[in-house]
Amino acid sequence: LIDGSLQPDAGTVNVSGGLAVMPQFVGTVRDGSSVRDLLVSVAPDRIRNAARAVDAAEAALASNDDEAAQMVYAQALSDWAEAGGYDYENTWDMCTIEALGASYYSVMDREAVTLSGGEQKRVVLEALLRGPAEVLLLDEPDNYLDVPSKRRLEQQLRETRKTVLLVSHDRELLSEAADKILSVEPSPAGADVWVHGDGFASFHEARTERFARFEELRRRWDEQHARLRKLVVSLQQAAAVSHAMASRYAAAQTRLRKFEEIGPPPEPPRDQDITMRLKGGRTGVRAITVEKLELTGLMMPFDLEVFQGQRVAVLGSNGSGKSHFLRLLAGQPVDHSGAWKLGARVVPGHFAQTHAYPELEGRTLLD
């Protein structure tokens, strides 16, 4: 709604200053686009349009290297320069050096799919935080980031002079970076939105107090409703024996009807109670055994034993091979050397980082 992709059913949206958006899908780019394409996708319209013109002119020149194609290409480069494209390339160079440890010109044609989810996020975040837009919309910017990158993001959000509206489920990021909370909560009448004018540290206490106010308002409404109904009944009985009470009876009926037309206060948002149950059959003592395992081009050989019932955290920088390691244990093809095996009666359950399961397309939720 804020970036204009959707139109509100009611009300208006006003944005002061330039606006830049990081969509949620950044980190799961698998469409064959390059690092340059990824950076262009979050640049201002004039840069995106100029980049598309350069791409089209290059493609035309490659298929037909005549004078007309050369003139179109020269004009596209001139437009790119006039739009500030080369200045952006200098900024993008700083972004890729910070996020990937390599210059922009050395990675610009690299397919984004070869980057980890965290590396894609870091490249885009660097571009937006260094860019000219005064207002940033960040949809789950912390997804896929390793611990040092999350710490850097928290620091950048604290220090930036930009206005930032971010969506996140990370309590630590919210505590460190947000100074106001906009809460969207399910309620019987639809999503209920309220603003907590302080940070995340006091959010839960304020939310509990808000729920208590809902309950108090409903209790008062019920009490007043009961009093009005009782008054109508008593005046009805009085009017039956005295015509002088008829006008008071009619007035009480009108009052009750208007009270009921206004209706009770809205029901409080539903407090979600989510319980996770992770169950599995008993297995051998050793659930996973790894001997001199090396993921080709990603990590040095290592040994590991995981015993039944253990909870093991796999930490590492973005692009170090954590997801590859889990995919290997799940039975997917991953280039490696060394040995690994699952224990007796062990059946792996793999919850993938990107949740991408093309084989389920068109299937039902139950499937």
* Predicted confidence pLDDT, tens digits, the chain (367 residues): 898 888 888 888 888 888 999 988 887 777 888 999 999 999 999 999 999 999 999 999 988 888 888 999 999 999 999 999 999 999 999 999 999 999 999 999 999 988 988 899 999 999 999 999 999 999 999 988 988 899 999 999 999 999 999 999 999 999 999 999 999 887 666 677 889 999 999 998 998 888 888 888 888 999 999 999 999 999 999 998 888 889 999 999 999 999 999 888 877 777 677 787 777 666 678 899 999 999 988 888 999 999 988 889 998 888 888 988 999 999 999 999 999 999 888 888 888 876 667 788 888 877 7
Nearest to residue 41, comparing CAs of 55, 53, 23?
23
3-class secondary structure per residue, the chain:
CCCCCCCCCCCCCCCCCCEEEECCCCCCCCCCCEHHHHHHHCCCHHHHHHHHHHHHHHHHHHHCCCHHHHHHHHHHHHHHHHCCHHHHHHHHHHHHHHHHCCCHHHHCCCEHHHCCHHHHHHHHHHHHHHCCCCEEEEECCCCCCCHHHHHHHHHHHHHCCCEEEEECCCHHHHHHHCCCEEEEECCCCCCEEEEECCCHHHHHHHHHHHHHHHHHHHHHHHHHHHHHHHHHHHHHHHHHHCHHHHHHHHHHHHHHHHHHHHCCCCCCCCCCCCCCCCCCCCCCCEEEEEEEEEECCCCCCEEEEEECCCCCCCCCCCCCCHHHHHHHHCCCCCCEEEEEEECCCCCCCCCCCCCCCHHHCCCCCCC
Domain total of the chain: 2
Residues 169 and 309 in one domain: no
- Residue 116 in any domain: the answer is yes
Task: Supply the pLDDT for residue 356.
Answer: 65
Domain final residue, candidates 155, 178, 201: 178
| φ and ψ of 312, to 5 deg | -115, 125
Same domain, 173 and 304: no
Count Cα neighbours of 106 within 13 Å in the Cβ-side half-sphere.
Answer: 9
pLDDT of residue 365: 78
Give the Cβ contact number of residue 297 at 10 Å: 8
Q: Which of 127, 162, 178 is the last residue of a domain?
A: 178
Examine the domain organization and report whether 164 and 309 are in the same domain.
no
Residues 39 and 157 placed together within one structural domain of the fold: yes
Round to whole Å and give the CA distance between 75 and 288: 60
User: Which structural domain range is residue 308 located in?
Assistant: 286-349
∠ CA 115-150-294, rounded to 5°? 45
User: pTM of whole model > 0.75?
Assistant: no
Tokens of 306: 């995981």
Cα gap 192→214, rounded to integer Å: 13
Q: Does residue 13 belong to any structural domain of this protein?
A: no
Are 130 and 95 in contact, with CB atoms under 8 Å apart? Answer: yes
The CATH number that applies at residue 51 is 3.40.50
Residue 74 makes CB contacts below 8 A (sequence gap 6+) with none
In a domain, 259, yes or no: no
pLDDT of residue 188: 63
* C-alpha dihedral (348, 351, 352, 357), degrees to nearest 10: 90
Q: Are residues 296 and 167 in the same domain?
A: no
In a domain, 327, yes or no: yes
- Which amino acid is located at 90 in the chain? N
Query: Using CA atoms, how far apart are residues 138 and 22, in angstroms rounded to an integer?
Result: 5
Query: Which pLDDT score is estimated for 208?
Result: 86
| Residue 199 forms part of a structural domain | no
